[in-house]
Amino acid sequence: MGVERFFDVVVIGGGAAGLFCAIEAGRRGRRVVVLDRNARLGEKIAISGGGRCNFTNLFTRPENFLSENPDFCRSALARFTPQDFIARVEQHGISHHEKKLGQLFCDGSARQVIEMLRADCQQAGVEIRVGCEISEIVQSGGFRVRSATGAFVAPSVVLASGGLSIPKLGASDFAYRVARQFGLRVIEPRPGLVPLTLDPAVLAPWRELAGVSFVAAVRSNGATFRDSVLFTHRGLSGPAILQVSSYWRPGNAIHLDLLPDAPGEEAFEGKRQSAMELSTVLAERLPRRLAQTWCALYTPSRPMNQYSARDLAEAARRLHDRPIVPSGTEGFTKAEVTAGGIDTAELSSKTMEAKRAPGLYCIGEAVDVTGHLGGFNFQWAWASAYAAGQYA
């Protein structure tokens, strides 16, 4: 069984949330150990943002998050803001820039964020164990976390092992299994921020457009996102699709507005009496190949002055609302995050402690709080970790 070692806090997971929580607890004088099954810390941080880590978003609001309880995230987000994390980054001399829409990236490498967290852990006296596979957690007057190298005993355990997204980086259902072990409800995890697939028959007319992107407004289940859409060999991707995928449910349609900047029949204004082909008019706003394919499918292209007002009204309607029923998603392998997770009703929004299992804390992606694309999930990691770190 190996030796038993005693700590104040055992943090399970060496990603963004786990390391940040360990720092906060360590700064309070707590004796902390971080256990991670991977050989290296922060694997998901390293690949994020194209290797530059989109570490927060300046415009973070509770409305940027999904959860069965949308108000749960408010407390943690209010107590640790994007500006608070930016201050940490700047203390370490990490230069950064805003790419778009409040998204902040390192000028250099995501490794800078990992090294910042590692350095702060060292300064806070946090011990880190990598390659540490946990076999079980038992509770008896505290928690005993058993591994092949021995047991770690502490009155507080923090579940920060993430969700199921990107299994090649070591993702697992560990947090959910432990939560259920201690009687906590888990909301069925599902891929979030993930490309959508189309049935081959639905995809067939669009297959030649793989690699073509365009700006659209995409909506599903009450959520609408305006951003780029990309045709793939399997279906649809791009930021707008990734965003709406977190809201989409199997069997539901997504609705594409191909001309979000030209409401109604605005795209045709001044062209109604023109001899220009419809496909040429549309190609002023859409990629030419997409305009040609759309016309071939829905409104055979001919000179604009040969269409009736009713024809153009119908064409505009179809352009502004093209319903598509995806066959599924590309799964956790391609998902950037996991939606669902440990039910927030089981946790204190102030401390992230489990109500039914005092001393057990749940943070980050393991919890049923999922951010939009663009740095929001990192901000949830920092904020939830900060909250737990003040109490664990």
* Full 3-state SS string of 245-297: HCCCCCCCCEEEECCCCCCCCHHHCCCCCCCCEHHHHHCCCCCHHHHHHHHHH
Q: Which residue has the tokens 């008019």?
A: 281
User: Could you give the 3-state DSSP secondary structure of residue 380?
Assistant: helix
Q: Which amino acid is at 77?
A: L
On the question of pLDDT at 198 being above 60, the answer is yes
Helix or strand holding residue 360 (H, E): strand 360-362
Q: How far is CA 312 from the centre of its chain?
A: 39
On the question of pLDDT at 188 being above 60, the answer is yes
On the question of pLDDT at 2 being above 80, the answer is no
On the question of pLDDT at 290 being above 60, the answer is yes
CA distance 102 to 57: 5
pLDDT in tens, 217-237: 999 999 999 999 999 999 999
* Structural domains present in the chain: 4-191+332-389 (3.50.50.60), 196-329 (2.40.30.10)
pLDDT band at 306 (very low <50, low <70, confident <90, very high): very high
pLDDT of residue 3: 85
Residues 153-163 have a mean pLDDT of 98
Q: Could you tell me what percent of the chain has a pLDDT over 70?
A: 99
On the question of pLDDT at 179 being above 80, the answer is yes
pLDDT of residue 140: 83
Q: What is the DSSP letter of 143?
A: E
pLDDT band at 68 (very low <50, low <70, confident <90, very high): very high
Distances in whole angstroms, Cα of residue 277 to Cα of each of 61, 260, 295, 301: 45, 21, 10, 6
User: Could you give the 3-state DSSP secondary structure of residue 378?
Assistant: helix
DSSP 8-38: SEEEE--SHHHHHHHHHHHHTT--EEEE-SS
Q: Which pTM value belongs to this model?
A: 0.95
